[in-house]
Chain A
Amino acid sequence: MFDDCRVSELSSQVTEGFSALAGMEPIPVLPALRAIVPGGGLRPGTVTGVDGSTTLALALAAGLGDRWCAIVGLPEAHVLAATAFGGEDGGLDPTRVLLVDDPGRRWADVVAALTDGCAMVLVRPPEEPPAHVARRLTTLARRNGCALVTTGPWAGAALRLRVETNHWSGVGDGTGHLRGRRALVAVSGRGAAAPGHRVWLWLPGPDGAVAVAEHEGPARLEAVAG
């Protein structure tokens, strides 16, 4: 898929790419996630690492609107979880998702092919990608207007989002059912506005939407249970 002349041609475009970067439209995210994603969206060609929560990774794709999203190497991801994350605006449209459950050794070629057409590729590489593979993928993604989100290790990730604490509400001792979850998300990486910044999010809230949670500290389980 990558031959040498193509790579050298691409790397010459990288310099042009940097100048073009300023004018590039960011990939939109849900309004509630602007608290953790600087600039109102993910810049094409950047890698966002998500740790500890598949829900948060899917939530990043829930603001895509009529753009397409691909999920590579996460056979267990359940796209229907994110369909209502945007509240009244809907959320992730499952019919605009492509799933590649088992890309095997050729995962990088698969991601490279999917950056052309999809606005976001969510990938869990089987191992940490070598630097040259990561560079190729981000270059292609930048050129094609695609943001990469990974739930695996990725050294060059510009933004890292980590769910540190979860508080579920709705379930008591044998009663109720899961309704909402408040999650403490820690933001780090060179792309973060204020590294080390922490935000409480409803992931999702009792109404099914992702929102910023006002109160910190443990949820009042008793009040919501039932």
Chain B
Amino acid sequence: MTVPRVLVVWCPDWPVTAVGLEASTPAAVVASGRVAACSAAARAAGVRRDQRLRDAQRHCPDLVIHDRDPDAEGRLFETVAAAVSAITPWVEVVRPGVCAIPVRGAARYHGGTDRDTAEESLRIHVQDTVVERGFDCGVGIADGLFAAELAARTANGGLIVPAGGTADFLAPYPVSVLDRPELADLLPRLGIRTLGAFAALPARHVAGRFGTDEVRAHRLARGLDARPPAPRPPHTDLSVTTEFDPPAVAAEQVVFAAKTLAEHLHEALATEALTCVRIGVEVTDAHGRTQSRLWRHDGALSALAVAERVRWQLSSWETSPDEEGVGGIVSLRLLPDQLVPDEGRQEALWGQVTVSDRIMRAAARVQAMLGHQAIVRPFPVGGRGPGERVVRVPVGDLPPKPGASEGQWPGRIPDPAPAVVHPEPLPVRVTGADGAPVTVSARCVVSAPPRQIEIAGRVLPVTAWTGPWPARERWWDPARFRRRARFQVVTADGGARLLIVEGGNWYIEADYA
């Protein structure tokens, strides 16, 4: 498997450029009290990214400070993306400040007898184009996006990493360039300081000890690509709008217009060989209030289905009592969202439950009343605690990949499963025969057999109990690490409960009610 050659345009300190500050002024863009980006002059004075604002001002007293403006970043970067798309239409904006194009084809077109000179002339051409628009940039070419971005960030405006030389190029970089703070903290403590050393670890050992994200990072360090750039033709606005003059007062009028509008939208999408799995409907009334709702469907939404959803949306608006007098609809806008290539529709194979149209309609009516997230389908997945064994997916969204429930979960609570799992565990007091609270030591020793539990003032004698079942969850992640122990307790009223103790506090996790 070869990694495609990618050219990356990197505009340094883009958040600073986007708010209109020059590189020569010592300036910083801040978000929630920390430096998000700083100009070259500020960096020379000792200002660093992620520094606290107070520290930055100590290093550089005449620092010009500006709030971060992500909208401006995206907007201004359109200028750069448009300039690059004059060279090749397949521009992928990785994030404001960084965009990528596939090299193949573009290099061939831009001349040169052999590959190296062709790539160099493409690189220079792209760099000149962007600099002409008044933006400083570095341009690098390498195998894969990750290496190409690092190549673009090298001194003197970027370089070309020869094909197949990515691993060697990456080797001396510190692991912090992977942009995964936990890994950057952990690996140096294990004596792994460079990408080369990280890449030298056998892949299966990395997979065995870390999560999928770390495996992705390991792939990057080895010069492989975690994800190929998805080239898009230059962005065209595919949304369609219709205005009502005079404002439409009858819902039927709007629904009828919605059907025609949806047909136009489908035609526009079909010419691009696209389909959308989600559609946004924006309705604006005469008072200028806009109500928008996202609608999703497993398959493509037909024009009729779109019109139906517009009607639901209107009816939910009219019946909600806090909206007195809509006063007529002045405009209706449909925005295709989440575009995917149109690959036809595949019926579900065996073992997959298809949602019938009737169920889908019932669910969509509930969504019209309460919103997209309000009605969910449960899917079984792997996990130890009862609450972790099910994920809830809004109707219409894609279910989790089958196979997620595979695998053994040592320490899983044995069957039967409780019928009640409290969304928030309820606090409970557990005491022994002497009335003192029961504790569990780090070595999982119970201080005394639990003899009674007290739930919201109600005291229940314990007739049978079992535990502790230790659960050390996510030990690899200090922020989410939890050491807890579970107990099953049967009380005199016949009830059975699953208790959990964490940090000396007891909770009811589930009820075998």
- Listed in ascending order, the chain A residues whose CB lies under 8 Å from chain B are 1, 52-55, 57-58, 68, 70, 75-84, 93-104, 106, 109-110, 113-114, 116-118, 165-168, 171-181, 204, 208, 221, 225
Contacts and interface: CB of A to CB of B under 8 A. Distances in A.
Given A100-B374, A103-B370, A166 B419 contact: no
Contacts of B467: 174
Given A97-B377, A166-B494, A81 B366 contact: no
13 contacts: A52-B513, A54-B419, A54-B511, A70-B362, A77-B419, A79-B390, A98-B362, A103-B370, A103-B374, A113-B365, A171-B465, A173-B464, A176-B466
Contacts of A96: 353
Contacts of B395: 98
Nearest to B510: A78
Nearest to A204: B416
B466 A95 contact: no
Contacts of B115: none
B420 A84 contact: no
A101 B378 CA distance: 12
Contacts of A78: 386-387, 390, 417-421, 510
A98 B464 CA distance: 36
Given A117-B359, A118-B362, A99 B419 contact: no
A95 B352 CA distance: 9
Given A76-B421, A117-B361, A109 B369 contact: yes
A80 B370 contact: no
Interface of B: 315, 319, 353, 356, 358-359, 361-363, 365-366, 369-370, 374-380, 386-387, 389-390, 392, 395, 399, 414-423, 446, 449, 464-467, 488, 490, 494-496, 510-513
Nearest to B358: A117
A24 to B, nearest CB: 18
Nearest to A94: B378
B419 A58 contact: yes
Contacts of A173: 449, 464-465
Contacts of B420: 54, 76-78
Contacts of B361: 116-117
A97 B378 contact: yes
- Is chain A's interface secondary structure helix, strand, loop, or mixed overall? mixed
B353 A95 contact: yes
Given A118-B359, A171-B466, A106 B378 contact: no
A133 to B, nearest CB: 15
A64 to B, nearest CB: 13
A80 B488 contact: no
B377 A95 contact: yes
Given A100-B375, A103-B370, A173-B464, 6 more contacts: A1-B315, A52-B513, A78-B390, A100-B366, A171-B496, A221-B464
B362 A114 contact: yes
A82 B416 CA distance: 9
B416 A208 contact: yes
A109 B312 CA distance: 13
Contacts of B417: 78, 80-81, 83
A17 to B, nearest CB: 20
A116 B494 CA distance: 38
Contacts of A95: 353, 377-379, 399
B319 A178 contact: no
A33 B377 CA distance: 26
A11 to B, nearest CB: 21
Q: Shortest 7 CB-CB distances between A and B: which pairs?
A: A166-B494, A55-B419, A117-B362, A113-B365, A81-B419, A171-B464, A54-B419
A223 B80 CA distance: 77
Contact of A116 (B358, B375, B399, B446): B358
A82 B423 CA distance: 18
Contacts of A54: 419-420, 511, 513
A114 B366 CA distance: 8
Contacts of A77: 419-420
A208 B369 contact: no
Contact of A1 (B319, B376, B415, B446): B319
Given A80-B390, A95-B379, A204-B416, A168 B496 contact: yes
A225 B463 CA distance: 13
Greatest chain A CB density within 10 A among B365, B422, B510 is at B365
A195 to B, nearest CB: 23
B418 A113 contact: no
Contacts of B366: 100, 110, 113-114
